Structures are given as structure tokens and as C-alpha cells.
Amino acid sequence: MRAGPGTRLVFEGFYKVRFQLGDAVGRSVMHAGNGKMLGGNSAFAHIGTYVKSGEGVDVVINTVRHNPDPSYRAMAGTDDATLIAKGWADGDLYRFKGELKELPGVPFQSLMTPITEDEVPIAGGVGEAGIADGLYSLHLRMLDGLGGGFTGVMLLNQGRILGGDASFYYLGSYTAANGRWKGQILNQEHTPAKDDPIFGGREVGIGFSGSYDSEQVVLEATALAGKRSLRLTATLKLMHRA
């Protein structure tokens, strides 16, 4: 249990999130730690802060678009929106209620469900001129004529990878030094991805290597999805330093 009479409120961790604004529903992933909330989904990054009190958590979270595809519509009607909400523990879950500054009077609510700590990987090593810690947008493209890809967000922090989108979450580790990095990621569903014939319903292991500079990271990878071995490439762009 995360909270109860006489216990200390524990909020830090990695979560899958279901949120609702009026009648519209969305999903994302979120990491809470050191007073910051960093996460997002296929089109938007969520960047915010939190303050714990004896009764719960007060949060302010900004939404920033990272995917220009117009088919991903902004729930608030604007790409940049600010959420102000209060949360409380419900067993291992956290529930929030609030509203957006841009839509006063329209109720917002969300449910944050933890991704268990024993699944989070051991961090890799970061050497000289290591990769910048922070929240990155992820744009991935399939190779070998398959076409398509997906987008999401990825938090890089001292050799550990946490990330995801509206259907999947990513856990991994990496080593980095002097402009080169390599590592591994496990991609898993947190919400059924019925429209994804490759990654949907599977745990997918991904090994990668690539390069980085102060603003952008690139990688080439091989994903093992069932009996298929798939090549892919991805670009990560820094959106917020951790």
C-alpha cells in the first residue's frame, strides 16, 4: 500500500495513466521523481512538477506536442495546455481531479497505476561526455521495406530508460560515452494495442546502438517480436532536461 493512516505518502515511481477531460479519454506513461513529472504518449509530452502534502499531491503539468501528425488531436483544443490537479492515494493507485487553465469548468480526472519496481532495469554506465539526462521525444521507423513506425516519449536518466506511449511502455538500460551509446529495451503493452500487428500482444526485446550530441540522439536497432527479427531506426530529441 502506498498510503494510509500514519504512513508516509510515497508517490515517486513509473506509472501508466488513464486520463479523461470531459468525455474525451487518453492514455500515457508518467515518471514522478525529485519533484518532477515527466512522461507523455504518441503525440504529446507531459512536463510538470508535484508537491506532496500530508493529504495528497498537488501537480502542475504542461502538455507540449512532439508529433505534428494532425490525426492526433489535442483534447484541450490547443497543443500547449496546463493542468492543475490534486491527487490522493487509493491503495497502490493514484487518482487526480482538476482542470486545464485553458478550459475552466471542464472536469479533468486521471488514474495512475504503477509499473512494479521489480520490472525497472538496473542502470547501465555513463562515462565521459555522457548523454544528457532528460525527457526525449521518440520517432521510430521500420526498415527492410516494412514501412510505418511509432512515436512516444523516453526518459533517459543515468543509464536507465523509462518511456512509452498510449499503448506501450518501455524499460531498458544503456551505456554512453563520448558521443556513442548502446543498450537494450523491453517493449510491453500497458493497454491492448489491437491495431498493431507487430508489437501488439507481445513482449518485444530490442537491442540498439547509435550516437548522440547535446540535442539529438539516434539509434539503429534489432527487435525480436515473436519469431520475427526486425530492423528499425529511431531519432530522439531532447524536450526537457531532468
Is residue 125 domain-shared with residue 236, that is, in the same domain?
yes
Q: Is residue 5 part of a domain?
A: no
Domain final residue pick, 71, 98, 114: 114
Domain final residue pick, 92, 114, 136: 114
CA distance 66 to 31: 18
* 43-51 CB contacts, 8 Å cutoff, 24+ apart: 43/67, 43/69, 43/72, 43/151, 44/72, 44/74, 44/79, 45/135, 45/137, 45/153, 45/239, 45/240, 47/135, 47/239, 47/240, 48/83, 50/11
Is residue 45 domain-shared with residue 106, that is, in the same domain?
yes
Is residue 101 domain-shared with residue 77, that is, in the same domain?
yes
Phi-psi region of 102 (alpha: psi -120 to 50; beta: other; left: phi over 0): alpha
CA distance 214 to 104: 38
Q: Is residue 1 part of a domain?
A: no
Q: Is residue 160 part of a domain?
A: yes
Is residue 108 domain-shared with residue 18, that is, in the same domain?
yes
pTM of the entire structure? 0.91
Is residue 137 domain-shared with residue 236, that is, in the same domain?
yes
Q: Which residues, including other chains, have CB under 8 Å from residue 51's CB and lie 6 or more apart? A: 35, 57, 58, 59
Q: Is residue 72 part of a domain?
A: yes
| Residue range(s) defining the domain that contains residue 100 | 13-114
Is residue 221 domain-shared with residue 125, that is, in the same domain?
yes
Domain final residue pick, 82, 114, 146: 114
CATH code for the domain of 58: 2.40.128.380
Q: Is residue 17 part of a domain?
A: yes
Is residue 110 domain-shared with residue 125, that is, in the same domain?
no
C-alpha 151: how far from chain center = 11
What does residue 168 show for φ and ψ, rounded to 5 degrees? -120, 155
Is residue 66 domain-shared with residue 103, that is, in the same domain?
yes
Is residue 106 domain-shared with residue 214, that is, in the same domain?
no
Domain count, the chain: 2
Q: Is residue 97 part of a domain?
A: yes
Q: Is residue 8 part of a domain?
A: no
Is residue 227 domain-shared with residue 163, that is, in the same domain?
yes
Is residue 74 domain-shared with residue 36, that is, in the same domain?
yes
pLDDT given at position 121 = 66
pLDDT given at position 5 = 40
Q: Return per-residue pLDDT of the chain as tens, 242 residues.
A: 344 443 446 899 999 999 999 999 999 999 999 999 999 999 999 999 999 988 899 999 999 999 999 999 999 999 999 999 999 999 999 999 999 999 999 999 999 999 975 666 677 788 788 899 999 999 999 998 777 788 999 999 999 999 999 999 999 999 999 999 999 999 999 988 777 756 766 789 999 999 999 878 999 999 998 788 999 999 999 999 98
Q: Is residue 6 part of a domain?
A: no
Is residue 110 domain-shared with residue 145, that is, in the same domain?
no
